[in-house]
Amino acid sequence: MDGFHVTIRTSASPPLSGTYGRVWISLIGTLCESPPVRVEQFLLPGSAYTVVIKPKEEVGIVVLLRLRLEAQPGFPDLDWHCHDVQVRRSSEDPEVEVFPCHKWIRTADGYIELRNEKACLKKKETLDILINHRERDLQHKQQFMRWGTFVEGGPHCVDMTSVTALGPNLSYIRQRPVYNVHYIKSLIERRTSWSSLQELETFFLFNGRENTVAKYVQAHWQEDAFFGYQCLNGCNPLCIRQIHNLPPNLSVTSEMVRPFLPEDSSLGQEMERGHVYLLDYEVLDQLPANTVNDKQTYLAAPLCLLHYSRQGELKPIAIQLQQAPGPQNPVFLPSDAAPDWLLAKMWVRNSDFQVHQLLTHFLRTHLLGEVCCTATLRQLPEIHPLHQLLMPHIRSTLQINIQARVTLLATKGVFDKSIACGLEAIPLLLARGTQRLRYSSMCVPDDVRVRGLDALPICYYAQDALRVWDALHRFVAGWIRLYYCNDEDVQHDCELQNWIGEIFTEGFLGLSHIGAPHSFQTAVEMCKFVTMVIFSCSALHAAVNFSQLDYNIWIPNSPAAMSRPPSQTKGSVSEEDVFSFLPEVNSSCHVLSVLSLLSQPAIDFVPLCHYNEWYFSSGAIVKLVEEVRRELKMLAKDIADRNSQLELPYPYLSPDCIENSVTI
């Protein structure tokens, strides 16, 4: 034989993928391993170089390749992005075995091993050498990816404090659109209160005049019907729920709210009909409020009762600002003086801001994604089909969350300097939020049914989320069927069981009351959980992240902090007093400058179920991807048609606006 013809291909992209270094390569076969051979050519971007390896002994079937990058004396030590390595047994052999890489390799990595491109479960491996390779790969990852603790009582996180520690394959540079915050930053040093409503309106004209949703918010924020709309379709649609009985600590009587209900009905009857809803921010009760600009801010823990009217509107009908009933905790009603009622609604919106940022957004999408990503890297080898399906949706969470912990959530970050839930409250709130998590609330069909939103005509979040969930669920089910023939295959996949077990232990802290699975007995259970992870890190994140600036840039609609304590009596505030509760100018602008960054999709964003990874373009997977894309395209059209009929559209779950993964 004339020797193995081995072609090493360097990626054409990402940019700067070439290196001055040299590569050592050896073949690992079923019989033996060939001695390393040094590739003398320079590894230019987009290049392909072929070397001939002539082992002295018969290596058998080549099942692994071993690569090592070596720095060249006198040249910079640059990383190399290897596309793949292709092997033929001779120059005449038409059969080519492909060993994909598609990652950065560094000289510090030492030897790395590549295997063939076929995803498979561990039980399908027929060679001990490949079983051992899977186990060595996971052992290496587990030494590198360790669990850490951000807050006691919250989901565990990756034990890294620097993005640099992630290495080049788990970090990235996103191409951000340029968002002009010139008019926000120009006020960021002003440590005074807003002097008047007119000053707020001037600020809004400079910063929100081109945002059609924000303009609608600014025009309608005082209206009860728009308040209810935001509970269903704003940036935090996860809090509202239908009730059939009043909470015992809500001091509302039927007589109090009778004027706001149909003349021929009562509160009890309306609850029986499913027309009464509740916002309950009990999770904020007694949390320590932050000090901003050396001044105390304040938190409330409101209960807000809402009614869905025969006119098709959801309106608040009673608001109690604290959890414990009593004479100093009155129930505010729409019939109260206008300043009292408006201020009560502002307190609810302030509480919603805290819960949205730290629980709906950070806990439910970012931290969940990080837990699943860390467990995937530790327990599922790259050749595992679930690793390949999940990673495009969760890979970005590690970098984003590390950055958030060392900036936004750290000393002198935006929460420390500008938001009512500061550094003292954050760990308490995240721990409480974790205790209150329920697996059913993470799964859209269960969630919208339990909260009574599935049949509510004006809840566009529920309508769109259900359709996106269903499309993803069918896609995931199809993927699973390619690799798991029956439930026994699921039960006997030890890597899969270790994965879900680690998520249960490290993410859900072993709390059985959450209802999350700690093992999979059926493919149906597995499909539901995987769909939940992908939905949470793509569609849910889009809904609660990209809408933030729209609903927050008119500051009175969602104040990040309140400068005065909640009212304990009615009639104690005037119309002018209401705006004195707002956060000061510099802290308001600090929050908006951060939200301006968070709310902008990247220029290079990847839409839902569009994939750049090589393994999505082969075999039966291509058909699955094409099917789900067609379904999502039809859904996007339906949403666009519906939105064209709405005064204020709900665009955030349109599939062409949903990014594949959590982003910043």
DSSP state of 354: H
Angle at 607 between CA 458 and CA 377, to 5 degrees: 110
For 318, phi then psi, to 5°, come to: -165, 140
> Residue 140 annotated as binding?
no
N- to C-terminal Cα separation, the chain = 54
Whether the Cβ atoms of residue 550 and residue 213 lie closer than 8 Å to each other? yes
> Residue 18 annotated as binding?
yes
**How many angstroms separate the Cα of 272 from the Cα of each of 264, 305, 312?**
14, 15, 17
What strand order describes the sheet that includes 62-70?
Answer: 37-39, 22-29, 62-70, 112-115
| Structure-block tokens of residue 654 | 């349109």
How far is the C-alpha of 320 from the C-alpha of 33, rounded, in Å? 74
> Residue 361 annotated as binding?
yes
β-pairing, 112-115 with 48-53? unpaired
Whether the Cβ atoms of residue 343 and residue 581 lie closer than 8 Å to each other? yes
Strands (DSSP E) along 331-397, which ranges? 331-332
How far is the C-alpha of 516 from the C-alpha of 529, rounded, in Å? 9
The amino acid at 617: S
Whether the Cβ atoms of residue 425 and residue 358 lie closer than 8 Å to each other? no
Displacement of CA 478 from its chain's centroid (Å) = 24
Q: What radius of gyration, in Å, describes the C-alpha atoms of the chain?
A: 28
> Residue 234 annotated as binding?
no
The amino acid at 322: Q
Strands (DSSP E) along 155-213, which ranges? 157-158
Helix spans in 380-459 (H)? 385-394, 397-406, 414-418, 425-435, 439-442, 444-450
How far is the C-alpha of 370 from the C-alpha of 166, rounded, in Å? 13
Give the annotated binding-site residues for Ca(2+). 18, 79
Binding site membership for Fe cation: which residues?
361, 366, 541, 664
Per the annotation, binding residues are: 18, 79, 361, 366, 541, 664
